[in-house]
Structure 1
Amino acid sequence: MISMISSRLARVVVSGIQPTGVPHLGNYLGALSNWVKLQQNAHSDDTLLYMVVGWHGMTLPQNPKLLASARWDMLATLLAVGLDPKRSIIFHQEDNQDHLELSWLLNCLTPVGRLFRMTTWKSRIASSRNADEADVDETLLNAGLLTYPVLQAADILAYRATHVPVGEDQTQHLELTRDIADTFNRTFKSKNALFPLPNLVSTPSHRILSLKDPSSKMSKSSPDIQSRILLTDTPAQIKSKIRGAVTDSIQGITFDPVNRPGCANLLNILAASTGQDVHQTVKGYENKGHGDLKKDVTEAVIELFRDPQKELGRLLQDRAYLQQVSVEGARKAKELSGETMTHVRERVGLC
């Protein structure tokens, strides 16, 4: 009798977050909580790498002292929300120079015209200046901001990632990464392709929008602090921000993202915070109004943040532990990327 056993290929999961500003509710529901779920559901032979991407933060002007502090705050945040350095490789991107070397080589394969067609650089400038994308002055574009999608590709390909959890605003960048990987594989042919074409890991939560402008996503770079709920906000601050969230003058509660984006955003937040489907959530508001919805959203977010906030406060007082996690994470990351770079140098003729 022949036993039919399906083989399973080990996955390499890679993602990162910038150390620019305290993570907000959108970051938590759209990325961080899903990274934790990926860790919890990972097979024993899967490799997971999560990095604080300091080099990406440099694409817009930064205060050096604030950035130095924010790096550690973000690393502590990753641990506070539930990432385990014994299971996932957690590190600072800038502690591994392989990213820069690979980025330069990939830049030499990437057409400038393709980078100009990327939409994120324009939205980042617009967001930082509180302007419309149509009004963005392209003279504000620096080379780093234009080419940072290639550095992002290097972040992924340095570990030969198979799966990348990203939000919908980064889908275009992952498509570019796949194209760059394919170009490298075809340009520097060998018996086996060096880079797999990484797959998108979609996050189950809806995109969380600004509390003040539900036509745009919640953003760390928005000048209006009332537009986002930060992981470090007190219950009183959370209550105030949600109470002031933009809704509409229509009576009753319905889920209509097109015509009632503010109301739909609050329903999405409530559903994501409580682990429900939004269409199930809205059924509980057939005879209620915006005041009831905002009250429930406030309570759900406060409860969602309760444990992470407590753990974050503890970790921020233990810099020695954070440094230990950082050093060990970088060591493990370098072992993986070092093997990749050996193959890269051989194929391009630099060794």
Structure 2
Amino acid sequence: MSALHYIFLAQGACFATLVSRIPAMRDRFAIDDLRLGVVLAVVPLIAGVGSLAADRLAPRFCVVRLLRIATPVTCACLAAIGTVYSLAVLLMVLALFGLALGVVDATMNAHGVAVQESAGRAMMSGLHAAYSLGGILGSVAAAAATGVPLAIFFGVVGAVACVGCLAMGTRLKPASRPPTDRSSPDPPGVWRRTAIIGAAMLALFIVDSAVSNWGATYLRAVLSAPEHLAALTYGGFAGAALLGRAIGDGAVERFGGTRVVGGGGLLGAAGLLLVISAGTPATGLAGFAVAGFGLSVIAPQAFVAAARAVPQRPGTAIARVNVCVYAGFVLGAPLIGAISALASLRTAFAGALVLVIALTVAAPQLGSAGPGDPTERPADTDGES
């Protein structure tokens, strides 16, 4: 495993560890679900600020230095959350966690794209596979540690991840890229494609948030699944996503990013169609797994496409697209809940299917011809020198 793969894995593990122990945090602070949701919304909202800040700081400190600083901060904040008993202090720690999270998300994707372009071969799906693996490991660890005090659990996970990030950070090297003239004017209309990519990522993560927050409820309430079977919903979705990302780079090398994104969108749509037409829990589980497999390849290629769309400022493009990821994460759960309240949960997931169909239509904007096509390569990733 490369140093950058470890950074992706640690980031996924820390985030999954936090969200997997939300029920224990709710009990500690004795707050209802609505107030807890408001408190936890601090993380993605501030992460958006951190993502944009990373673009501003990268030219001064370089992407690799920012990663070396921000990744241990994320891990340390996770450890600190377990020791907090004041809601006001929790908000401050979560804000710092979100800020560091946003910096890491933006810089690790920017550095990943730069390394991929320097290497001349597809790598981004593999990096995102490491993130998915970290998320699964964090969730499994949280399930196994049920009953363990938060201070101990968060402290152990945070400390292990922090030590690893400090060690791996020293092995990160700036990608070998020619310098970019940031003062040069942008070509007319250069940000139009980035806006389309950002909108598509917003839709993608609304769907992802819908599955993670409402998938188990769908199986339980709509398909009358037993609780233990409904609990497998997100695990099946995430496991299939890990598999899709593990083979995604090979598919991009063979077929090109545009075809991979288009095919992934079609599979995602087929999976959600299976979900909304399901009559049994097994069919619903299969549908969520198919959707996870197909949709998994879209985000890595979208970051590459964003960087190639704005070759003068690829880091800026990635940071802005990353903000759309957080917006989708925040909007997904309440949007599905609102549609469910007005109509039904099945109708809400039909709305998610419409978003995936739109993603598939946008595949030419989200994909790319692959690393071997010099006509679509960015000149540099901001701050890589």
- State the TM-score, normalized to the length of structure 1: 0.30
Determine which structure has more spread, i.e. the larger CA radius of gyration.
1
- If each structure's strand is expressed as a fraction of its own residues, which one has the higher value? 1
TM-score for both structures, normalised by structure 2: 0.28
The answer to which structure, 1 or 2, has the higher relative contact order (CA under 8 A, 6+ apart) is 2
